[in-house]
Amino acid sequence: MSTHRSIALLSRIKPVVNSIALRNAVAVIVDHRIGGQYAAFQIDRRTLGVVSSRNISSNSSSRPPDTSLFVPLSIKSEQSGDGSVGAELTKPLDKNEILKILNRFYKRKEMQKLAGEHGLDARLFHQAFVSFRKYVLEAGTLGADLHIILSDICCGAGHIDDIYPYFMRHAKQIFPMLDCMDDLRKISDLRVPANWYPEARAIQRKVIFHAGPTNSGKTHHAIQRYLAAKSAVYCGPLKLLAHEIFEKSNNAGVPCDLVTGEERTFVDPEGRQAGHVACTIEMCSVTTPYEVAVIDEIQMIRDLSRGWAWTRALLGLCAQEIHVCGEAAAINFVTELMYSTGEEVEVHNYKRLTPFSVLDHAVESLDNLRPGDCIVCFSKNDIYSISRQIEVRGKECAVIYGSLPPGTKLAQAKKFNDPDNPCKILIATDAIGMGLNLSIKRIIFNSLMKPNINEKGEKEMDIISTSQALQIAGRAGRFSSAFKEGEVTTMHRDDLPVLKEILSRAVEPIETAGLHPTAEQIEMFAYHLPEASLSNLVDIFVSLSQVDGLYFVCNIEDFKFLADMIQHIPLNLRSRYVFCTAPINKKQPFVCTSFLKFARQFSRDEPLTFNWVCRHISWPLAPPRNLKDLVHLEAVHDVLDLYLWLSYRFMDMFPDANLVRDIQKELDDTIQEGVRNITRLIRASDPHGNSSKPPEPRGPGPQAQRKGRGPKALGARAEQRGVDKSLTSRLVQDGLLTPDLLQQLQMEWLEQQGSHRQTGKGTRGTTNKGKKKKE
C-alpha cells in the first residue's frame, strides 16, 4: 500500500476515533504494510482534537443550491416528429381550455411539493411552468403523447396531475443541471484539497516555519538554506521579491532562473533550466521535484483574492524541505493544515533585529518633516496632494504606489536611499509593506482608513488591521539601512491614540486558507452544462462547492467581470478560462478595452503582432505633460504586461514578446521621468494654478468609524478637521470624479447659467417672478 493511500486511510479513521470518545488517548498506532515493512503513524491528542474543532464541511451536501444562479435555456417551439398525429387521433386542442388546465396544474400544492423533491424549488417551479405554458400554447403541433393527455383532461377522461411527467421533462430541458446535480456536487467537492497533489503526497516532506515580524531576518535564514541546496524554488508574492532573490542567487554564484507571469529569464544561454528558480507564487510548479522550497509571506494564505496560490504551494510543492516564512499568527493554522497531510512542522521564532517606537506626538504639519520620513497614504490623490505641498516648501520627495512599473518603483527607492541625493522624503502607499529595501527613519500614517474588497467583491473603507499596521510600521529602522532604530507616528493628532491601540492588539490568528476552482473542474462542469456561460458556471460551482472548515473559496468577482466582458466573443472554454485569469486592473478603462480587443483578435485566429500592438497603443508615446498623461502611460504599461502574460500561454498568437518587452522598457523610462517631475505634472493638472492647494480631504477617521457611520458622526469629524464636506470633494476623493472632469462640469454649469441669465429663464429668475406675483 502506498504512503498516499496510508495517509488517506488515516485521515478517514480520525472521525471514527474521535467519535468513540478516545480524545484523551496519548497515541494511536496504525500499521500499514508498505513494501514488506511496517510504517507507524502516530496521532497525538491534538491531532484527535483537530477533527472536532472544525466542521468537516461548512457547506453540507444536503444544503440546497442557490437556484437564483440557474439560468433557464430557451426552448424553441419546433415541429414535432410525429406531426399532427395527436390531433388526428383525438381532435385539435382549445387553447383557452388548455390555459385554464395549465393554470390549475400550477396551483396544485401536491405538484409543487413533488417538483420540490426533484430539485425544483418555488423559484424554479415558477420559471419552468411559465416556459412550459408558453411552449404548449405557442407550439404549432405538440408531441402525440402530450396532445392526447391534454385532450383527455379536456374531455374529463384524464387527471390534471397526468401533466406532471411532461412538465418535468420540459423543466429538465431548460434546467439541465437538474439531471446531473449529483455529478456537479462531486466535481465541486473541495473538502480534501491535499489529495489534488499526488506527487507531493508521495514523499514525506519536512516543513520548517520561520516566524517573526518584519525585519527579523526570518526570510534571510530560509534563503541561506535555499542557496545551499542542490535544487530549490523561491515563491514570493511580488515580482520585485522574485527579482531580488533571482539577483541575490546569481550574485552568490548559484545559477537561478526567474519566472513570473510576464517574464521567463534563463541564466543558461541555451535555455536549459537551472537548479534554482525564483518565481511569483502563482507560477510555482507543483510537479517539479526540488530539495528545498521557500514560501514567503505565508499569512497571505487567508487573502480573499490570492490566498489560493499559497494554499496550492503549501500543499502541492514537491520538495523535501518546505521553508515557510511569515507572521507567527499563522503557526497554529499551518501546523493544523499539515496534520491533514501527515507532516510535522518545525517552528523557528525570530525577534525584530532593530526596534521601533510609537511616538507620543503627531507630525500635524508638513513643515515638521525630517530627512528619512515616509508618509504612508492609501490613495493616489493623497500622494499627489502631499507631494505638491512638499514641493511648495522647497523640499524634494520620492513617490511609490502600486500601479507604478517595477522599474520606476526601484528607481524611486534608489533615489530616496541615496545619501548623496537631496531627496530625503518618501510618500508611498502600503505598496512599501513588502518587496522594497528602504532607508526609513520614521513612518507617518497620513490616514488609518484603507479601501478593502470584502467577500462579495465590493469596495469598502475600513480601519487598517493590526497585521497591516505592523507590516507598514515595520519598515521603519531596518537592520540593513542607515537608521538602526525606527519611529512611527501619524500626521493627525486624533489618529495617534487609535494607531497605538491598533499596534497594541495581538494579530488575529489565521483560521482559513483560500481555494479556487481549477480549469479542469470548470471544464467538467461545462461538459454537463454546455449552454451555460463561464461566469454562470463559476457561480454554480461556488454555490454547490463543499469546503472543509479549514478552507474558503476565494473571491471570484474579478474573474466573473472578465468572463462577462468577453462572453460574446467565440472562444473555446480553456482559452476563455485562461483569459479570465489574466491579472489586469479593471479600474483602468484603457486596460479593459485592450483586453477586449486582444480576445477579439485572438478569436479570429489572427496573431497579435508587434505592429498591431503599436497601432493600438499609438506608439511611440510622448512624455507626460500632466497627471492624466501619466496615468495613461501607467495603463499602457499594464496593457504591455497583459500582452507578455498572454504570450507565455499562447505563444503562436502573441509572437512578438521580445519586441514588446523592449518598448515596455522605454515606456518605463518615460514613466520614471514623469514621476521624477511629478510636482510639475500636478501643477499642470491644477485647473486654477493654485500652488498652495491644501491636501485632498480624507475619508472619515477611525474614531468616527468606531462611534458610528451616521451623518452626525461623519459631519462632526469633518468639522473637527476643517474638511470640505462638499459632494464634489467626496466624489474626487473616492475616484468617481477626476479633477479634469470636475473642471469640465464646472465650465458647462457656468455656460448654462450664463445662457439662463441671457434668456431670463433661470431657476432663480423664475422663483423671483413667482414671489412677485404672489406678493
All residues at 6 or more sequence positions from 288 whose CB lies less than 8 Å from its CB, including other chains = 233, 318
Closest CA to 286 of 237, 319, 308, 254: 319
Burial of 650 (0-12, 13-18, 19+ CB in 10 A): middle
Pairing type for strands 318-326 and 37-43 reads unpaired
DSSP 3-state percent helix, strand, coil across the chain (nearest 5): 50, 15, 35
Closest CA to 720 of 567, 385, 492: 492
pTM (2 decimals)?
0.78
Exposure string of 337-366, with b = 16+ CB inside 10 Å and e = fewer, is: bbbbbbbebeeeebebbbebeeeeebbeeb
Given this model, what pLDDT does residue 750 score? 64
Give φ, ψ of 322 to 5 degrees. -110, 115
Task: Count the residues in the chain.
Answer: 775
Q: Is the peptide bond before 165 cis (omega within 30 degrees of 0)?
A: no
Cβ atoms 537, 526 nearer than 8 A: yes
**291 secondary structure, DSSP code:** E
Taking the C-alpha atoms of residue 566 and residue 595, their distance in angstroms, rounded to an integer, is: 9
For residue range 376-434, list pLDDT tens digits in order: 999 888 999 999 999 888 899 999 998 899 999 999 999 999 999 999 999 999 888 88
**143 secondary structure, DSSP code:** -
- The CA distances from residue 355 to 53, 117, 215, 359, 479, in Å, are 37, 64, 9, 13, 9
Cell of 542: 461556488
Q: Which helix (H) or strand (E) holds 117?
A: helix 109-117
SS3 238: coil
Cβ atoms 508, 470 nearer than 8 A: no
- Alpha carbon dihedral 99, 104, 107, 112, in 10-degree steps, equals -90
**476 secondary structure, DSSP code:** B
Cell of 529: 452544462
For residue range 23-56, list pLDDT tens digits in order: 233 222 223 322 332 222 232 323 333 333 344 3
Given this model, what pLDDT does residue 706 score? 39
Cell of 561: 467581470
All residues at 6 or more sequence positions from 175 whose CB lies less than 8 Å from its CB, including other chains = 70, 72, 73, 119, 120, 124, 128
SS3 149: helix
Q: How many CB atoms lie within 10 A of CB 165?
A: 12
Furthest C-alpha separation in the chain: 110
**546 secondary structure, DSSP code:** B
Exposure string of 588-625, with b = 16+ CB inside 10 Å and e = fewer, is: bebbbebbeebbebbbeeeebbbeebeebbebebeebe
Half-sphere exposure of 247 (CA within 13 A, CB side): 5
Half-sphere exposure of 566 (CA within 13 A, CB side): 30
Taking the C-alpha atoms of residue 499 and residue 501, their distance in angstroms, rounded to an integer, is: 5
Given this model, what pLDDT does residue 433 score? 82
Distance spanning both ends of the chain, measured CA to CA: 101
- The CA distances from residue 244 to 193, 414, 431, 750, in Å, are 31, 14, 16, 54
Given this model, what pLDDT does residue 22 score? 28
Please identify every stretch of the chain with a pLDDT value under 70, giving residue numbers as ranges: 1-63, 76-88, 453-459, 479-481, 686-775
Residue the block writes with cell 479600474: 587
